Amino acid sequence: MSGIGNHLPQQRPGSGLSDTDVLRIRQDFPILQQQINAHPLVYLDNAATSQKPQVVIDTLSRYFAHYNANVHRGIHALSERATQAYEAARDKVRKFLHAHQPEEIVFVRGTTEAINLVAQSYARPRLTDGDEILITAMEHHSNIVPWQILCQQTGAVLRVAPINRAGELIPEAFEALLNRRTRLVALGHISNALGTINPVKTLIDIAHRQQVPVLLDGAQAVPHLPVDVQALDCDFYAFSGHKLYAPTGIGVLYGKKALLDAMPPYQGGGEMIRRVSFSGTEYNSVPHKFEAGTPDIGGVIALGAAIDYISDIGIARIADYEQTLLAHAMACAAGVTDLQLVGTARHKAGIFSFNLAGVHAHDVGTILDQQGVAIRAGHHCAMPVMEFFGVAATARASFAFYNTHDEVDRLFAAIDQVREVMH
């Protein structure tokens, strides 16, 4: 693998990244080398999508330039090369998530499709009128709407576990909502709007004591925390490649093999079959049963390259470093009297959501952009969270391992500019 990231000095796991390490890593990301509105780009919208290292860009280009072909279906050299790279990426995902076997890794378009797959293929055949699905009050719309659709289809009931004013789940309230009619729990590993890191292992254990399976939305977790699906003992885990420094349009559903084996296909077509006749169809084995049609082959292979890249740096080191960025931002925020933090959980990832008194979040985002600082402003596909906190929107800065402490200072210098302009 090419790139500067894999030439960093080896450090003990969890020892973080030095400022020198980060400056070298930044050289791997061509998009970061530009100016926006005559200012060096400060990209702090990583929770929406991350930037791509050159090795990922090159991997995608190399696939199309040298071995573009359909997988699993050809005996010629290009198809064999594509198939080998595609399945090698599946095993890289398996190792990254610490899954038991490659057959537990299903390639989808992203977290949203993975959740919909579980809703329609696992849950729908099992639900009857009055059954319940339990989610939480901090979920992304992608972990709300599929369950609402499912409830409309089946007569099931959606239950919502509450949060406190810090943006933390209340474990006792969560447990109290579990009952003999609960058929599935679906919750975010990390909140995209608040940064809260949920105590998912504890919640999984609580649910499993009542024989309730658990799906985790890991879109915000896999780029920022080590994830071990066997240690967590979750039944399903979903994430998107584009937040993990890979291209858009590719994602992963992990599922325990026994569950996947028992689930009917989500879509019908090519690749997901063994034999088709007009009298009936015999389906393929997992994971291919859930991968109908031609997949995003280049995206899968590039996802594998992204996993190699961050694995060489070390996800534990990334997690530790990003915590220093968050701590720096929180310390800076303490000196801004008219800044309101939204999401103050004790255990947070590098997501910093805030509002300035008397200033709409969209105005904050617009003025920051004029200073070359890219953040997200809006409801972040988490409108129930906004309603809970009594705000229409928030400004959200979200950190990645290529961000620097100087960029955090640039963020707050730009916030000072907002205050001057709007007051």
Active site residues: 381
Using CA atoms, how far apart are residues 195 and 221, in angstroms rounded to an integer? Answer: 10
Burial class from Cβ neighbours inside 10 Å (0-12, 13-18, 19+) for residue 138 reads buried
Please tell me the number of Cα atoms within 13 Å of 48 on its side-chain side.
14
Place of tokens 């537990």: 104
Which residue in 141, 199, 146 sits closest to 174, CA to CA?
A: 199
- The token pair at 215 is 């799906």
Query: Are 371 and 414 within 8 A, CB to CB?
Result: yes
Q: What is the 3-state secondary structure (H, E, C) of 165-184?
A: CCCCECHHHHHHHCCCCEEE
Please tell me the number of Cα atoms within 13 Å of 297 on its side-chain side.
22
Sign, CA torsion 416/17/33/249 = negative
Place of tokens 């959200």: 396
